[in-house]
Structure 1
Amino acid sequence: MRASVLLEKGVVEMQERPVPRPEPGEVLVRVRAVGVCGSDVHYYKEGRIGDFVVEEPLILGHEVSGVVAGVGAGVPAERIGQRVAIEPQRPCRTCRQCTTGHLNLCPQMKFYATPPIDGAFADYVTAPAEFAFPIPDSMSDNAGALLEPFSVGMWATGKAGLAPGSTVLISGAGPIGALASLAARSYGATRIVVSDPIASRREKILEFGATETVDPLASDFDPARIGADAFIECSGATPALLAGLQALRPFGTAVMVGLGAEEMPIPVQHIMNNEITLTGIFRYVDTWPKVIAAAESPDVDLDALVTAEFPLEEAEAALTQEPGEDSMKTIVVVSR
């Protein structure tokens, strides 16, 4: 099979690799579409993310849709030909985190495109059968690939404790901010405020669930006037986090999603005096049924998030393109 392989920082090569064989309980998936994540770009440019270091050739890509092409022992043959979206996690299932329902925090986790585990910029991948989720015929391959980042937005929204009638502030009108907005709407939030300094992004985000937008750099911007029940930080910018904490009502919840600085100053007394909950997320748990259902809603158009496509042979170009103000998600098209 073809595979786009990151040899080292800044060096990608197309290679021929053996088609993987599904183990018992696994499926072999013919990849159709793979979303390009910021983590893929970071590995390409920097060769590492925190403690995860590219020390040997690595196939990038973890936002995947495709078609089941084969099955391992114990998996019904009827699954062959089924269109699926893949949850790219492989937890150990036996550690305390897994057995208590926190499999996303499994210390033995194997995750696509996280060193040393290969990802999906290739013709075929294998996955646990229960993590290859059937998608409806009405859903495009691109939309199926975007269920993975949609899961991030859905997990963040769930941790924010949104309920029908809630007000939520989301900082960052990029892809994750857009998907968090859609997730917030699925949870019943009625006021979804998105903050972003770029006017074109503020305008675009209104197509993805936001009910209003604010410019955090405007001279008259006062976050305290928002009175949000929850705040979801998707930009990774320290000023955005600090403003969002001020936007919360007492007893509100702030969820950090964007990857920012390793250390940030926070207003401890404000958090304590208002009993604000400040937490973060790391991937997700059991989100695929939710995002598949949410994506079938008539007011959710995941395809509208796609602003660029590249064939597998041009995966490096997908990683190195200069995003414009209106850029959202890039897809590597592996097959159709």
Structure 2
Amino acid sequence: MASAKHENPSFILNAVKNVTIEDRPIPTLKNPSDVLIRVGVTGICGSDVHYWEHGRIADFILTAPMVLGHESAGTVVETGPACKHLHPGDRVALEPGVPCRLCPYCKAGTYNLCTDMRFAATPPYDGTLAKYYVLPEDFCVPLPPHVSNDEGALVEPLAVGVHVVRQANVQPGNTVVVFGAGPVGLLIAAVAKAHGAVKVIMVDIVQPRLEFALTYAATGVFNAMHSRDPKVNAAEIIKQFDLGFGADIAIDASGAAPSINTAIHVVRTGGTYVQAGMGADEISFPIMAMCCKEITMKGSFRYGPGDYKLAVDLLAAGSVSVKELITSRFKFEDAEKAFEEQKKGKGIKILIDGPQD
């Protein structure tokens, strides 16, 4: 064990379902604009659980031990000489993906599409489930005094919701149907509502999720077990919630083919469809409906410039609340239990406290 000066307990995935808590050196500031943060709390994401259970996501494969976690908030303990805005003691939300800043996508202002993104807890890059973590100053978003570290940890999935709603260009008065009432779907609904959507309908097949959604951000809910036929479900959603020619915007946060098919049928002619959930590499979907209705279709990936800041601003203003999503928390030394609980679907958002002295 290293001396107390260098103590940096880290939750490390060595192989599938093989995790250890090990001491690592405190990371150093490699660039003048870097910031050293003591991590206060980390939320568990579905991708963290997927790496823990399978050791890979698509082409990102675990080949060496990796620290998990990427939904975090903490306190600045050291800043580089070029830092201008942050100081030791400031609390921040950690934006966990640092782009190269040099590729055409970065220069075009779409750094979430960077060809050389260094994203926390995505092989080969270590994540934030440790005592200390280093980020550039401009990827640390200050938290106002009345926004807790718990809320700060949920800024990461909230920023995903912000990006999706921006991709959909939700406007005041719009009607929006969101498929998938998991954490991201719920946050998409909340952000859409904050942007002025007058109807936000959530669709899922798990009734307890829908019941929660109705108390959280949805103005209406629909259980997709109503029919196995996407056209029938779409027609029923339009009728039940008086959507006229269809929803202005449909968003899929599930990645499930039946939801995607239903979404394309539920959106109105000239409407917008955004794919936020990830599922199978290839599916069949109603291309004729897409063409004949001239639907605008977009993908959505992580978050880009301004999304993290807007997420914090929405929390600070009370326009969106995330406290209701927090269902349980664990001590750092019990982090594996948190993963097991998340895998069993026992909570919406589970938090892990940072290592204590």
User: Quick check: TM above 0.5?
Assistant: yes
CA RMSD of aligned residues (A): 1.6
Deviation at 1:259, TM superposition (A): 1.3
Equivalent residue for 1:8, pick from 6, 15, 18: 15
Indicate conservation of the 8 Å contact 1:200/1:326, yes or no: no
Say which is worse superposed, 280-289 or 218-227, in terms of deviation: 218-227
Equivalent residue for 1:231, pick from 250, 260, 266: 250
TM-score, normalised relative to structure 1: 0.96
Matching residue of 1:218 = 226
Q: What CA distance in whole angstroms lies between the structure 1 residues aligned with 2:85 and 2:264?
A: 51
**Deviation per CA, 1:7-61, whole angstroms, max 9, x where unpaired?**
0111000100000012211100000011100000000111000010000000010
Q: What CA distance in whole angstroms lies between the structure 2 residues aligned with 1:78 and 1:273?
A: 52
Q: What CA distance in whole angstroms lies between the structure 1 residues aligned with 2:264 and 2:317?
A: 31
Equivalent residue for 1:175, pick from 183, 201, 205: 183
Distance 1:198 1:55, change over 3 A: same
Say which is worse superposed, 313-322 or 216-225, in terms of deviation: 216-225
Say which is worse superposed, 243-252 or 322-331, in terms of deviation: 322-331
Say which is worse superposed, 251-260 or 111-120, in terms of deviation: 251-260
Indicate conservation of the 8 Å contact 2:13/2:52, yes or no: yes
Residue 162 of structure 2 corresponds to residue 151 of structure 1: no
Q: What CA distance in whole angstroms lies between the structure 2 residues aligned with 1:291 and 1:244?
A: 26
Matching residue of 1:193 = 201
Distance 1:322 1:20, change over 3 A: closer
Residue 103 of structure 2 corresponds to residue 95 of structure 1: yes
TM-score, normalised relative to structure 2: 0.91
Q: What CA distance in whole angstroms lies between the structure 2 residues aligned with 1:115 and 1:323?
A: 21
Equivalent residue for 1:278, pick from 263, 280, 297: 297
Deviation at 1:128, TM superposition (A): 0.6
Deviation at 1:322, TM superposition (A): 5.3
Distance 1:17 1:326, change over 3 A: closer
Matching residue of 2:63 = 55
**Deviation per CA, 1:204-261, whole angstroms, max 9, x where unpaired?**
1123221110111115963132411111111111101101111000111111111111
Say which is worse superposed, 162-171 or 288-297, in terms of deviation: 288-297
Distance 1:115 1:325, change over 3 A: closer
Indicate conservation of the 8 Å contact 2:257/2:285, yes or no: no
Distance 1:304 1:285, change over 3 A: same
* Identity among equivalent pairs (%): 37
Q: What CA distance in whole angstroms lies between the structure 2 residues aligned with 1:164 and 1:8?
A: 48
Q: What CA distance in whole angstroms lies between the structure 1 residues aligned with 2:39 and 2:103?
A: 31
**Deviation per CA, 1:110-154, whole angstroms, max 9, x where unpaired?**
011010010011000000101101001111111100000001111
Matching residue of 2:83 = 75
Q: Secondary structure at the match of 1:79?
A: coil
For 1:3, the aligned partner's letter is: S
Mapping 1:1-336, distance limit 5 Å: 1-23=8-30, 24-76=32-84, 79-219=87-227, 222-224=233-235, 225=238, 226=243, 227-286=246-305, 287-298=307-318, 300-321=320-341, 327-335=347-355
Indicate conservation of the 8 Å contact 1:147/1:288, yes or no: yes
Indicate conservation of the 8 Å contact 2:254/2:278, yes or no: yes
For 1:61, the aligned partner's letter is: G
Flag structure 1 segments of 5+ consecutive residues without an equivalent. none
